[in-house]
Amino acid sequence: MCNTKRDFSFHKANTMSKEFWNTRYKNNEYAYGKTPNLFFKNELSKHKTGTILLPLEGEGRNANFAASLGWNVSAFDISEEGKQKALKLTETNNLHIQYDIEDIQNINYPLEKFDAIGLVFAHFPVNNRQAFHRKLISFLKPGGILILEGYSKKHHKYNSIDTKVGGPDNPEMLFSKEDLLKDFNNLEICLLEETDVILNEGLYHNGTSAIIRIVGRKK
C-alpha cells in the first residue's frame, strides 16, 4: 500500500504554441489566477519539502505556492510572458523559483533529480504524450511523488458547450485512466480517480469540469 503522506502537431488554434501562450499571458490579469490549483495544494502539503519540478508552469501560481512551503522549485514553459508574471509574483511574495524558457522536447535535467513533479492541466498531443510523461518521470527520484490533475475524456461534453471551462478542444488530448496507467507504469499508484468539479481558476477555468487525478510514487 502506497503511503501518500511522506495546459509539435497541435489542436485547434495551435494552443500549444509560444505565440498563443504569450498572447494569453501578456495581460495584467493572471489567466488562471494567482492561487494554486486546490488538488495540487492539498496533496503537496502532505509531503516533506525537497526539490520539485513544475512543467508548463505558465504564470507561476503553483510554483509560488510550493516555494512558500519551502520547496526548492524548478519550473519551465515556452512562454516568456508567463515567466515574467511568475517572477513578478515571486518578487511580490518575497520567494525564489528557478524558471527556464524551454519546450518539453528539449528540456533536460539530471536523471533522478527531483523529489516531486506537479503536472497541473498539462496536456500533450496523443502521439507524444507517453514519451513526454516518461521523460518527465526519468527526472524523478526513486520514492519521489507525481501529482497530476488534468481533464478526463468526459470533459469534452462540458467544453464543447462552454469554452469558459477550459481544456483542449481536441478530445484526443484528454486523459483516460487506462492511458495514464500505461504512461506511468513505473509508479506505484497511490490515488487514481475521476470526478466532476466546479473550477474557479482565473479567467479560463470556470465551471463544471471532468477531472482525472493521479498521485504516484516512483518505484
Q: Can you list the residues of the chain whose pLDDT is less than 70?
A: 1-16
| Amino acid of residue 15 | T
pLDDT at 169: 86
What pLDDT, on a 0 to 100 scale, did the predictor assign at position 16? Answer: 63
pLDDT at 7: 37
The reported pLDDT for the residue numbered 10 is: 32
**CA–CA distance, 149 with 165 (Å, rounded to integer):** 15
Task: Give me the long-range contacts of 91-94 (CB less than 8 A, separation at least 24).
Answer: 93/64, 93/67, 93/68
Largest CA distance in the chain: 46
For residue 83, give the 3-state DSSP assignment: helix
pLDDT for residue 148:
98
DSSP 175: B
| Each residue's pLDDT tens digit, 60-114 | 999 999 999 999 999 999 999 999 999 999 999 999 999 999 999 999 999 999 9
pLDDT for the residue numbered 4: 46
